[in-house]
Amino acid sequence: MLKKILLRLAILVPVGLLIGGGVAWYQMKFDNARVMKSASYAIEGEKPTIRMAGLEIGGPFTLTDHNGNKVTEADFAGKFQLIYFGFTYCPAICPTELQRMTQIMNQLPADYSDKIQPIFITVDPERDTPELMKNYVSLFHEDLVGLTGTRPQIDYVLKAYRIFAARVDDPDLSDYTMDHSTFTYFMGPDNKLLSIYRMKDEVDFILNDIKAKILAARTQPQDIPS
């Protein structure tokens, strides 16, 4: 009898874990598609515009910056934020996106860029230690802050920002890689989402959008960043 129960458990537990894991993975992937759908990109004339249908992105978090200091969302409040999620081992996409973020920061007039905090959050905290993050962000913009944390802390922030990330084990590679969302979020000084930029968005389009959003915030006295 006990043998039978144990045998049944031995079969049911792995099957349950497999199904549970599969459902969780599918939900993350589905959520990712939903973020893009509800952000509803539209082409108006020549210029693409991004419409946000009341998207709830972001929220409180506790992470560790590239100097090893504990930080929360409150440390960045009061500044606009450009946030990108990725990992330092990423072969091509992450460096390209962070290069674009650097270009944007450098091309904005100082009275705009001064108000923006560029942030890189790892989806791979197992490998991305603060030391590694420090070396990595130094390859890009001088103001870029790299954030890592424990796996639960990172999972929490990924969920809050609706970022999909999954480990991919490739037998042809000596180490694993990560499949992940490639949005760049532009957040207001109140930590609320202003825009989502995609990989294909040109630097000029993003520059114009950022300027417009910062100008619009200036006309609302309560939102003027210090």
Binding site for Ni ion (CB under 5 A): 86, 90, 93-94
Closest CB 93 distance from Ni ion, rounded Å: 4
Nearer to Ni ion, 135 or 208 (CB): 135
d(CA 37, CA 31): 10
Could you tell me which residues come within 8 angstroms of residue 178 by beta carbon, excluding any fewer than 6 positions away? Answer: 86, 87, 89, 90, 123, 124, 165, 166, 167, 168
Closest CB 87 distance from Ni ion, rounded Å: 6
Q: Where are the alpha helices (DSSP H) in the chain?
A: 2-39, 93-107, 110-113, 130-137, 151-160, 203-218
Closest CB 139 distance from Ni ion, rounded Å: 14
Nearer to Ni ion, 75 or 201 (CB): 201
Nearer to Ni ion, 94 or 108 (CB): 94
Q: Which residue is nearest to Ni ion (CB)?
A: 90
Closest CB 192 distance from Ni ion, rounded Å: 25
Could you tell me which residues come within 8 angstroms of residue 55 by beta carbon, excluding any fewer than 6 positions away? Answer: 35, 38, 39, 193, 196
Nearer to Ni ion, 63 or 123 (CB): 123
